[in-house]
Amino acid sequence: MNSGKYVFSQLVEVLPKRRFDLLVEKYEGNKYVKHFTCWNQLLCMIFGQLTNRESLRDLSMIIQAHDKKTYHLGLGRKVSRSNLAKANENRDSRLFEEFAYLLIDIARKKRSIEVNKIQSPVYAFDSTTIDLCISIYWWARHKKTRAGIKVHTLYNVTTQIPSFIHITSAAYNDMNAMDYITYEPGAYYIFDRAYMDYKRLHTISKHSAYFLIRGKSN
């Protein structure tokens, strides 16, 4: 029984902190940092995600409301919006990207299930567009009055966990994202007809993998 421990503290205990620390050393994430470390930054962003915060201002306000608890939650002391903004802007994002893929790999091994008696991995690939406010995210403009990004996701049907995520501008052609997939021999890949490109589909066959795709009317 975790008597006296906050629920959030119990949740983040499962994170492999030693592996994260190795990545921090690799990318020198805590160089010249005195108080607000990469670990504090990570936990703050996780806290914001779990509590459904909509902005850094919103997140910093809820953290400040629990100012006396932040140390025990692992968020660090005196977390401000400026601290979060500077950390998110200046620190190497590859640190958190590698850690995310590490967690995905751990989760995949724990969540493996049997799908229709197929022993090989089964993947589904698709994209979704996320609309953004053009006055704030001007760099993501894809139409005169609209802004947005596109998230291309390779979903592992066997484990029910994404295994690959590629983020592009909203105007990016879906088929081009297929070039970033590392195909596994013997695995099955499911696509919508938007990915009907014979050259790219032939690449899957050359990797001794299989694909299933909807045909176009023409």
Model pLDDT, residue 3: 59
Model pLDDT, residue 117: 66
Residue 73 and residue 18 share a domain: yes
Contact 50, 136 (CB under 8 A): no
Confidence band, pLDDT 50/70/90 cuts, at residue 217: confident
Residue 120 and residue 89 share a domain: no
Q: Which of 37, 69, 96 is the last residue of a domain?
A: 96
Confidence band, pLDDT 50/70/90 cuts, at residue 112: low
Judged by average pLDDT, the poorest of 41-45, 67-71, 121-125, 157-161 is 67-71
| 54 exposure class (CB count in 10 Å sphere: 0-12, 13-18, 19+) | exposed
Model pLDDT, residue 114: 58
Q: Which of 70, 96, 122 is the last residue of a domain?
A: 96
β-pairing verdict for 210-213 and 141-143: unpaired
Instruction: Centre a 10 Å sphere on the Cβ of residue 88 and count the other Cβ atoms it contains.
Output: 14
Residue 201 and residue 128 share a domain: yes
Residue type for 152, please?
Answer: H
Residue 125 and residue 207 share a domain: yes
Q: Does a structural domain hold residue 101? A: no
- Average predicted confidence (pLDDT) for the chain: 87
* Counted domains in the chain: 2
3-state secondary structure 103-139: HHHHHHHHHCCCECCECCCEEEEEEEEEEECCCCCHH
For the chain, the farthest-separated pair of C-alpha atoms sits apart, in whole angstroms, at: 65
Which domain does 192 fall in, by range? 114-213
Residues with Cβ within 8 Å of residue 103, at least 6 apart in sequence: 15
pLDDT tens digits, residue range 62-102? 888 877 788 778 787 778 888 888 888 889 999 999 999 89
Residue 168 and residue 129 share a domain: yes
Residue 146 and residue 204 share a domain: yes
Residue 174 and residue 84 share a domain: no
User: What CA dihedral angle connects 67, 70, 71 and 72, to 10 degrees?
Assistant: 120
| 27 exposure class (CB count in 10 Å sphere: 0-12, 13-18, 19+) | middle
Contact 95, 24 (CB under 8 A): yes
Contact 132, 147 (CB under 8 A): yes
Q: Does a structural domain hold residue 218? A: no
Res. 185: pLDDT tops 70: yes
Between 204 and 146, residue with greater pLDDT: 204
Residue 22 and residue 91 share a domain: yes
Whole-number percent of the chain with pLDDT over 90: 44
Q: Which of 46, 68, 96 is the last residue of a domain?
A: 96
Q: How far is CA 9 from the centre of its chain?
A: 21
Q: Does a structural domain hold residue 76? A: yes
Model pLDDT, residue 135: 82
d(Cα 12, Cα 43) in Å, to the nearest integer?
8
